[in-house]
A and B are shown apart, each in its own frame.
Chain A
Amino acid sequence: MEGRGIELNIGPVHPATHGVLKLVADIEGDTVKNAKVEIGFLHRGKEKIAELRYFNSYFPIVDKLDYVGALNWEILWASTVEKAMNLEINDRVKYIRAVMAEIQRIMSHLVYIGSFGQDLGNLTFFIWALRERELLMDIVEEISGGRLAPMYNRVGGVFYDFTDGIADKINTALSKIEEKVKKEYRAMTYENSLFIMRSKGIGIMGQKVIKENGVTGPNMRASGIKRDLRKDEPYLVYDKVDFEIITENDSDVYARFMVRVREILESIKIIRQLLKDMPKGDAKISAPWIMKVPAGYTLVRHEMSKGEGAMFLVTDGGLKPYRLKIRSPSFYSLQALPLVLEGCKVADAFVITASMDPVMGEVDR
């Protein structure tokens, strides 16, 4: 007799789905036959809100797009508006933004690593990763006054300059994190045999799936595609620093994890270089709070912690955007998720989902 499988609704409220992602999986025995992804549970109409707000008043909204990588999105929005206005910003602002972007990238990757460890049933690792993130959180708080949603950037610069002696503090925090990543994290995750047993060889996302679905960022680099907008299309001051594009070749869950771990170390390298040759100057240029932006189309894309984020801004010469379209990298990663989930074990399904690093605030917008 042909047995019917179980249709399992995973989420939207589930401890392992990282927010309000919903998976509908057809399960036979312990194998996922096929899976559907349902999104939209965190849709807040951010693209609609953009049409109702002044350009500078949109920063708090941008902050909540990717709530573990807020500064990256802030910088993207600021750059988009500046490009639309043909505004040239100071060198110091570029450096400050690059430093903040990299700090945010490390924080985002730490959350990824931690929550990934938690999905493997290791709560200790989650708390350890948050402990290291806390060091950087304190720094962001000292600089900007905010922690999760800092509200630090504005069109034409940043709100506050770096405080005195912050460079030393950043350096201390970075060397602490570097040591932890290289020693404790190694023992706990990437050289731990249980961890390797769980993560190697599952959730293989080949180059074909990646290219068809437009997956970018660390998920793509884990399959050996060497592409990073910081290198290929340098924005801010990334053309002045020396760093490598991290790639792995296995394209499985372990590779996606390793790309993040190694990117943390790479970001630390970048921040150190940036801090060393940070120029003097003003942290912002005088630009009005409420301004008109000339009509036109502007497309700016940056390398977020999760992939290539882009903003397509359509302006009509008024005080508010005519239309803003946000490309969120997680949106495309999730689109590829059903293809990757096919034929995996139920327990692996959660690990694979976590390895994509979806942040629902960014997906649902």
Chain B
Amino acid sequence: MIFNEIYSMLAYYLPPKANLIASALATFVLILIVLIATPIILGWVDRKFSARIQSRYGPIYVGKFGLLQNFADVIKLMGKNFVTNQYVDRFSYNLIPILSSALSFLLIALLPFGAPSLTFISLPYNLLFIYILLAFSPLLIIIASWGENNKFAVLGGFRSAAQITTYELALIVTFISIGIVNGSYDIINVIASQSLIWNIIYLPLTAVVFFIGSIAVIERAPFDLPESSQELQAGWRIEYSGLKYGLFMIGDYVKLLAVSILFVSLFLGGWSGAFLPGIIWFWIKTVVALMFLMSLRWSLGRPRIDQLLSIGWKWLLPLSVINLIIVEVMMLI
């Protein structure tokens, strides 16, 4: 855990009680930096990357290469008025952005950042906990869409619930497979047991299922049907504005990073790799996974909801179950 690292580093200089407070503060500041920097940097990468795909320049004016553009945007977002429809259900309307972004922040706090000790929270069964966090979101979205009192939002909310529920089933099967192959639900142990052979070799089908399923669960394009901006305008986010909308967007980027870290940790061996230090390997893999996720968004159109669901039920779920059975049989032999 990061807290322990900082504590042991400062133990030489400070008495135990002061050290406790100082390292807690330091951890808190670190969390804040990570949470703020991730969406801003990722946002910049996303914008620049998509711009290059679309033969545009992307942000160029604010800062070198437009690096500061997203800082400017966040500041702008914070200065915006909250426009609230008078018919919304205030309680759920105001609660959901906070809850939903808190959940995604929690998600990233559970994940390792390139070394076993670099986690904010370490739990013995953190893979299951991550699953719970992902499984929580349809509930929030339904509450939000119902509270917004808007037809487009309700349509988006129902779509979202159907989609996430479908793909979570596929996800849980992949998590079970991982648990069986690696004998643990702790990400650190899962990575440790892949030091020789990556999971993607044992579980190629599961890796594909996880990849598609996780895009669908975090509602990233091309599976962003619940908030498809062309059909439902913004789906269940339609009534949100200003920082409340910003919180959703920040949560999106954080989830994107979380999913790519998760993919790297579960299937691509985390920080295992030759020649280079583990942390560099880890980030190289994560960036590649991230870029792949982003390029999908800019190169594919989105399927229809019934097509998406039928892919989920008819292909991904059976495939992951088949892979699970194969793995079980292999383990028995």
Contact = CB atoms under 8 A, between A and B. Distances in A.
Contacts of B324: none
A123 B298 contact: yes
A345 B306 contact: yes
Contact of B300 (A30, A131, A194, A349): A194
Interface residues of A, number: 32
A15 interface: yes
B233 A15 contact: yes
Given A124-B299, A345-B306, A347-B305, A118 B230 contact: yes
A312 B14 CA distance: 92
Interface in B37-70: 50, 53-56
B117 interface: no
Interface in B187-202: none
Which of B155, B228, B230, B307 has the most A CB atoms < 10 Å from its CB?
Answer: B230
Interface in B272-305: 298-305
B225 interface: yes
8 contacts: A8-B152, A16-B231, A121-B224, A121-B302, A194-B303, A197-B304, A197-B307, A350-B230
Interface string A99-131: 000000000000000000111111111011001
Nearest to A16: B230
Contacts of B298: 123-124
B116 interface: no
A198 B307 CA distance: 9
Given A131-B55, A345-B304, 7 more contacts: A6-B154, A6-B155, A8-B152, A30-B306, A194-B222, A345-B305, A347-B228
B303 A197 contact: yes
Nearest to A30: B305
Nearest to B300: A194
A14 interface: yes
A223 to B, nearest CB: 23
B63 to A, nearest CB: 24
Main SS class of interface, B: loop
Given A6-B151, A30-B306, A127 B300 contact: no
Given A16-B231, A123-B298, A128 B54 contact: yes
Contact of A120 (B155, B159, B233, B301): B301
A198 B304 contact: yes
A188 interface: yes
A121 B230 contact: yes
Nearest to B229: A15
- Interface SS, A side: helix
Contacts of A6: 151, 154-155
B221 interface: yes
Interface of A: 6, 8-9, 14-16, 27, 30, 117-125, 127-128, 131, 188, 192, 194-195, 197-198, 345-350
A189 to B, nearest CB: 8
For the complex of A and B, list the 10 residue pairs with the smallest distance between their C-beta atoms, beginning with the closest: A120-B301, A121-B302, A122-B301, A127-B54, A16-B230, A121-B301, A347-B304, A124-B298, A124-B54, A350-B231
Nearest to B234: A15
B6 to A, nearest CB: 43
A199 to B, nearest CB: 9
Contacts of B301: 117, 120-122, 125, 192, 194-195, 198
Contacts of B305: 30, 345, 347
A188 B225 CA distance: 20
A195 B53 CA distance: 19
Contacts of B228: 121, 347
Contact of A346 (B224, B231, B233, B300): B231
B303 A188 contact: no
A344 to B, nearest CB: 10
A313 B50 CA distance: 50
Given A6-B151, A194-B222, A119 B230 contact: yes
Nearest to B299: A124
Nearest to B302: A121
A346 B304 CA distance: 9
Contacts of B224: 121
Contacts of B306: 30, 345
Contacts of A198: 301-304, 307
B151 A121 contact: no
Interface string B167-183: 00000000000000000
A302 B229 CA distance: 36
A13 to B, nearest CB: 9
Residue from A6, A346, A347, A349 having most chain B Cβ neighbours under 10 A:
A347
A198 B231 CA distance: 14
Contacts of A127: 54-56
A128 B55 contact: yes
B50 A121 contact: no
B150 to A, nearest CB: 11
A170 to B, nearest CB: 22
A345 B232 CA distance: 13
B230 A15 contact: yes
A131 to B, nearest CB: 6
A70 to B, nearest CB: 25
A131 B54 CA distance: 9
B300 to A, nearest CB: 5
A27 B232 CA distance: 13
A323 B233 CA distance: 41
Nearest to A125: B301
A14 B233 contact: yes
B54 A346 contact: no
B225 A347 contact: yes
Contacts of A345: 304-306
A38 to B, nearest CB: 17
Contacts of A124: 50, 53-54, 298-299
Nearest to B51: A127
Interface string B212-237: 00000000011011001111010000
Interface in B286-333: 298-307
Contacts of A350: 230-231
Contacts of B304: 197-198, 345, 347-348
A130 to B, nearest CB: 10
A345 B302 CA distance: 14
B233 to A, nearest CB: 6
Contacts of B307: 197-198
A347 B55 contact: no
